[in-house]
């Protein structure tokens, strides 16, 4: 007996639902970086996405499920931005370019599309396990990406230097956003950049 393989086709209705889901997640990913996990409410997200509050449960089982997906999207966007820097930059200049982009004034001013670690780090420890798992995975990916740009990649010291580099980058960005003095904000960014930049860059 010959089995007939059926090819699943996406119906217009299913495609529309998926597009709507993606829109909600995209809006939520920006919102959590802008206002934090605690400041992100379902009603506000649905309104910004142009949907009714009641439509939420057709896409998510809970607010926490939405936050986990939003965190994943924010981390994916940050990883893609870093990967783009790596792809378009000569190998010997990648680390300097990554540092320059991360510790830029533009990044300080655009928290809603920037690094979720700096925007959400202090809140993450109080979130559900799914959110923490997504964040942990992103941190490990960024450590690995940074380690690969170091001249001693593959040696034990490279991993530790990547840990320190990421910690310094995130901490400097967080503080640069926290202060209300532009000169101090710039000084925090620049000091971290000077400290982390490879010699000769």
Task: Decide: 66 and 74 in contact? Cβ < 8 Å.
Answer: no
Burial (CB < 10 A; 0-12, 13-18, 19+), residue 84, is: exposed
Tell me how many domains the chain contains: 1
User: Would residue 138 count as lying in a domain?
Assistant: yes
User: Would residue 99 count as lying in a domain?
Assistant: yes
User: Would residue 178 count as lying in a domain?
Assistant: yes
User: Would residue 81 count as lying in a domain?
Assistant: yes
What was the pLDDT predicted at 170? 97
What was the pLDDT predicted at 14? 79
What was the pLDDT predicted at 80? 94
User: Would residue 132 count as lying in a domain?
Assistant: yes
User: Would residue 16 count as lying in a domain?
Assistant: no
| Domain containing residue 104 | 63-196
CATH number, domain of 110, equals 1.10.357.10
User: Would residue 133 count as lying in a domain?
Assistant: yes
Closest CA to 68 of 24, 15, 111: 24
| Tens of each residue's pLDDT in the chain, 201 residues | 444 444 456 788 878 889 999 999 999 999 999 999 999 999 999 999 999 988 999 999 999 999 999 999 999 999 999 999 999 999 889 999 999 999 999 999 999 999 999 999 899 999 999 999 999 999 999 999 999 999 889 888 999 999 999 999 999 999 999 999 999 999 999 999 999 987 544
What was the pLDDT predicted at 2? 46
User: Would residue 142 count as lying in a domain?
Assistant: yes
């Amino acid at each position: 007996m010959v089995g007939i393989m059926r090819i699943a086709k996406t119906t217009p209705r299913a495609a529309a639902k998926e597009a709507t889901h993606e829109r909600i997640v995209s809006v939520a990913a920006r919102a959590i970086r802008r206002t934090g996990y605690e400041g992100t409410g379902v009603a506000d997200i649905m309104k910004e996405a142009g949907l009714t509050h009641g439509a939420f449960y057709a896409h998510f089982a809970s607010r926490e499920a939405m936050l986990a997906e939003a965190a994943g999207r924010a981390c994916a966007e940050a990883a893609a931005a870093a990967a783009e820097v790596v792809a378009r930059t000569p190998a010997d200049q990648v680390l300097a370019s990554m540092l320059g982009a991360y510790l830029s004034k533009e990044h300080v001013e655009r928290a809603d599309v920037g690094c979720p670690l700096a925007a959400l780090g202090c809140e993450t420890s109080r979130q559900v396990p799914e959110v923490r798992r997504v964040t942990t995975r992103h941190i490990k990916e960024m450590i690995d990406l940074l380690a690969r740009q170091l001249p001693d990649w593959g040696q034990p010291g490279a991993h530790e230097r990547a840990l320190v580099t990421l910690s310094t980058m995130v901490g400097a960005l967080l503080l640069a956003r926290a202060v209300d003095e532009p000169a101090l904000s710039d000084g925090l960014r620049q000091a971290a950049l000077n400290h982390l930049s490879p010699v000769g860059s």
